[in-house]
Structure formats: structure tokens, C-alpha cells
Amino acid sequence: MRRHYILFALGGAALLALLIYAFGYSRIVELKYTGVADAMDAIASSTPAAKPVPVLDIAAYNKKLIQIANCPSVNVKVTATSSTTGVATTEFVATTSPSCIWPAKATYPLAGALLPFNRIVAYYGNFYSTGMGVLGQYPPAIMLAMLASTTAKWQAADPSTPVIPAIDYIAVTAQGSAGADGKYRARMPDSQMDEAVTLADEVHGIVILDVQVGLSNVQTEVPLLKKYLSMPNVELALDPEFAMHNGAKPGTVIGSLDATDINFAAQYLAELVRENNLPPKILVVHRFTQPMVTHTSLIKPLPEVQIVMDMDGWGSPSKKIGTYNAFIASAPVQFTGFKLFYKNDIKPPSTRMLTPAEVLGLTPAPLFIQYQ
């Protein structure tokens, strides 16, 4: 009865307009003899039901973090009392030993996060250059076939973690010449980013846009990629090696980024996630020396942004593992990555590349694998 009074208050003209808006004139004629209440029931039934809000499976998330930590695990007895029933329950929860600093203490991500449920295997480079990585060294068809073979090896090495292929494209490249504005960096045209997105779509993968700022800065360069970073399958990477200071040219010294730069990028990505209702973004930060990233402890992962610290050094297996342990594993942020070089990792005195099994044995096991 109550809705009848509401309809009466609306008045005939307002009701008619509402019905026409919902159904169109011809449908209103059909409803003419069903009664006002039946008409409003039809409107209500035609309204799409709200989609359930996705929820992060925290138990599965925690379990995966323990698994990839590769630390001795212990079972901790936890007793909790229900706030509604007052009943106390006790269970054993797996965690790492107190002496292990992994998993990193970081906020839980929003639902839809790729990590730690997946491992990303990326091919890196620039389509204009044969010397910057795999992407520009081989024709697309050959490169994608190589990527498929590589991801299959990682999937076989760890069947419990699905592998996602990635096109890691250097969207802003450091340059040896100053350029028109003296910033020693070149921004790639949209056509090149479009090609990266197309290639990733072909393999049902993701795109990572790598940024080398030269004498520019993160605050200027990252927002210029908004068109692509607003896409659900495009992530971001920052390369401190080519973030120069005091007028130094890229390649003459190793550059650096501060936590303030990385946090700016994370906050910017988080805004895009909220504005566009996207799944959490991934932010990769390359590192192979201590000074490359300053104030690491102040880097803040966000619910909208997962941060990967990627070991970017090349050399023999022992040298690479030492670099990973010294500059990545010893300073937990959230997740870790490991870069493998098809050419530089086998330069003498090195004789071979690390195998997937060897990399997966690290503490913690990297969830981002990059090939150059």
C-alpha cells in the first residue's frame, strides 16, 4: 500500500514520464491495464542487480607469501573469540621463523591483485633498438615464440604459481645527447606503446612501461603516460640507473631515485586505479647498488599499488645472487624481481645463466622475472 501513496504524490504526469523513460511508449501501452503497482513492479524487476564487490582472499594471500618467502616455517597457535557468539576457537597458523625478515610487512592489496598469486615473466627492450633488449632484437613473431617458451619453463619450474607473460617496453629512454630541452631522454611515440599493448594482447599478457628519466624527473615523465597507465593491463617501472643528478649525463655514472620519487609514482598510480575502477597496479623499481635507491625503508606500498624491487645486475651466477641478497632481499619492501641477461650473464668469466630452479630457490623467491 505504501508505494501507492508515493505514486499518488508523484502525480500522473510525473509517473507517466517515469514509465516512458523506463520502458518506452509502446511498452507503456502494454502496461496500461495491469495497474500502477504492477507497472512499478516491472520497473523494479528490470533494474540490474548490483554486482558483488570482489574481496581479497586474505588466507590464500598469506599462505602464498609464506610459500615464496622460502624461510623455515613454523605453526603458531592462535586463539580468537568471536565477537558475536563469544565462542573461543584455536587453530594453528603457518608463519615464517622469527629470524626471517620475509614476508615483507606491507598493506594488503585490493581484490584483483596479480601478486603473489602469479609470477610475471617479462621480455624487455625498445622496438627501435637491437641493443637494448629482446624486444628490439627479434621480429615480433620470433620474440613472442621465445617468450612463450620461456614462460613455459618457469611454469614447469613452479606449477603452483601461474605465469603471466609481459612486454616490458622502455617508453622513456635515456640518451647520450641532450636533446632539444637538454634532458638527455627521449619519449617514445604512442605508436610504439600501441604496439606493446597489441603484442601483450596476443599472448594474453600485460605491458610494463619502463621509464629512464635522464635529467628530467619522475614527477614530469610518469603523468605523460596517463593514457596507457589508465588501462587495466599496463603497469609501470622506474629505472634509477638513468635518473641523473647535478648535470651528469646518462651512462657516465649510476643514477638514483629517492623514496619520495617512488612514492609519487605509487600515489599517481593509485589515483588512476580509483578513478578508473582498475585492479591494483604493479610498480617495478630496478636496483643493483645500494645508492641507486635512497631511503628504501620509506617506500610505501598501497592497497592500489604493489611494489616490486627488481635485481637488475648482470654477471656470473654467484655475483648475481650476491647482489640480490645484498640490495634486494636485505631490504624488504613488498615483492622482489630478478633480471636475466641473455648476453651479459655469459660474458667471461661467467659461463652460464642461472636456471629458473636456482632463482626460485632464493629467499624470497622472485615473482617478477625480466629478460634482456
Q: Burial letters for 271-285: b for 16+ Cβ neighbours within 10 Å, e otherwise?
A: ebbeeeebbbbbbbb
pLDDT on residue 300: 96
Is-contact 188 172, C-beta < 8 A?
A: yes
What residues does 79 pair with on adjacent strands? Answer: 90
pLDDT of residue 22: 42
pLDDT over threshold 50, residue 20? no
Q: Does pLDDT of 60 surpass 70?
A: yes
Q: What pLDDT does residue 50 have?
A: 65
Burial class (CB in 10 A: 0-12, 13-18, 19+), 366: buried
> Regarding the domain delimited by 119-371, which CATH topology (the fold level of the hierarchy) does it fall under?
TIM Barrel (3.20.20)
184-230 pLDDT, tens digit per residue, is 999 999 999 999 999 999 999 999 999 999 999 999 999 999 999 99
Q: Is the pLDDT of residue 315 over 50?
A: yes
What's the pLDDT at 96?
Answer: 64
Interstrand relation of 119-125 and 293-294 (parallel, antiparallel or unpaired): unpaired
Residues 339 and 354: beta-carbon distance below 8 Å: no
- Pairwise pLDDT comparison (111 vs 83), residue with the higher score: 111
Q: Is the pLDDT of residue 59 over 60?
A: yes
Tell me the domain boundaries of the chain: 2-46, 119-371
- pLDDT reading at 297 higher than 50: yes
Return d(Cα 170, Cα 304) in angstroms, integer. 23
Q: What is the largest CA-CA distance in the chain?
A: 90
pLDDT at residue 93, as a whole number: 53
**E strand or H helix that includes residue 100:** none
Model pTM?
0.81
